[in-house]
């Protein structure tokens, strides 16, 4: 079956349908550079075979679902430049294979983030979760342009794989 969903620069509007959670063979989801709105559906987190999730440059709102910790195969997570709010869930620390995380949120609180997760340019608030120090594979961590506060978790400084933060 098909393992990739790639709809990049298609001016797609509307929400990500919850039925996406039934596409259990998906390994790659690229929905960047569209006009998607609404929240990240919890059902998306049922895709335990998913390795790459790129939702950057959309208009997604709401919080990052705590269920994201179930996405055990995830290697790259890019949520850059959306309108996400709330905290970065500690469950993200369960993604042991994650090597790229970009979350850039305007008001963002992060706990437990490791490998390359793009969370920049959102509205996350709070502190960086200490669990992020568990992401032993993390190479790239981008949390810029958020409203994070508190201390940098000690475990983050011990990540030998980290190349860019």
Looking at the domain assignment, is residue 164 inside a domain? no
- Does 145 fall in a domain? yes
What pLDDT was estimated at residue 110? 43
Asked whether the beta carbons of 161 and 140 are under 8 A apart, the reply is: no
- Please give the residue range of the domain that contains residue 60: 4-157
Whether residue 14 lies inside any domain: the answer is yes
84 or 109, greater pLDDT: 84
Residue 28 domain-assigned (yes or no): yes
pLDDT of residue 131: 66
**Exposed/middle/buried for 73, CB within 10 Å: 0-12, 13-18, 19+?**
middle
Look at residue 117 in the predicted model and tell me its pLDDT.
Answer: 40
Examine residue 165 and state whether it is found in any structural domain, yes or no: no
Rounded CA-CA distance 123/88 in Å is 10
Instruction: State mean pLDDT over 75-96.
Output: 86
pLDDT of 128 above 80: no
pTM greater than 0.85? no
pLDDT of 28 reads 96
Q: How far apart are the first and last CA of the chain?
A: 37
CATH number at residue 52: 3.80.10.10
Among 32, 89, 87, 36, CA closest to 60: 36
**CB of 33 closer than 8 Å to CB of 57:** yes
Q: In this predicted structure, what is the pLDDT of residue 97?
A: 86
Q: What percent of the chain is modeled with pLDDT above 90?
A: 44
Structural contact between residues 117 and 138, judged by C-beta atoms closer than 8 angstroms: yes
Let me know if residue 34 belongs to a domain: yes
How far apart CA 111 and CA 1 sit, in angstroms, is 36
Q: Are 108 and 82 in contact (CB under 8 A)?
A: no
Rounded average pLDDT over 80-85 = 86
Q: Quick count: other Cβ atoms within 10 Å of Cβ 138? A: 29
d(CA 127, CA 112): 10
Number of domains in the chain: 1
Of 111 and 158, the one with more pLDDT: 158
Would you say residue 106 lies in a domain?
yes
Tell which residue, 23, 79, 16, has the closest CA to residue 46.
Answer: 23
Q: Is 162 inside any structural domain?
A: no
């Amino acid at each position: 079956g098909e393992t990739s969903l790639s709809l990049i620069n298609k001016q797609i509007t509307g929400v990500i349908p919850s039925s996406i959670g039934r596409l259990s063979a998906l390994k790659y989801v690229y929905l960047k550079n569209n006009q998607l709105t609404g929240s990240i559906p919890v059902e998306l987190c049922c895709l335990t075979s998913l390795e790459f999730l790129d939702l950057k440059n959309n208009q997604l709102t709401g919080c990052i679902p705590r269920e994201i910790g179930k996405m055990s195969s995830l290697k790259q997570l890019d949520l850059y430049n959306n309108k996400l709010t709330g905290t970065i869930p500690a469950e993200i620390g369960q993604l042991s294979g994650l090597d790229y995380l970009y979350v850039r949120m305007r008001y963002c609180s992060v706990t437990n983030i490791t490998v390359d997760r793009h969370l920049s340019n959102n509205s996350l608030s709070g502190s960086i979760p200490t669990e992020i120090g568990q992401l032993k594979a993390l190479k790239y961590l981008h949390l810029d342009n958020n409203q994070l506060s508190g201390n940098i978790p000690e475990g983050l400084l011990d990540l030998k794989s980290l190349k860019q933060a």
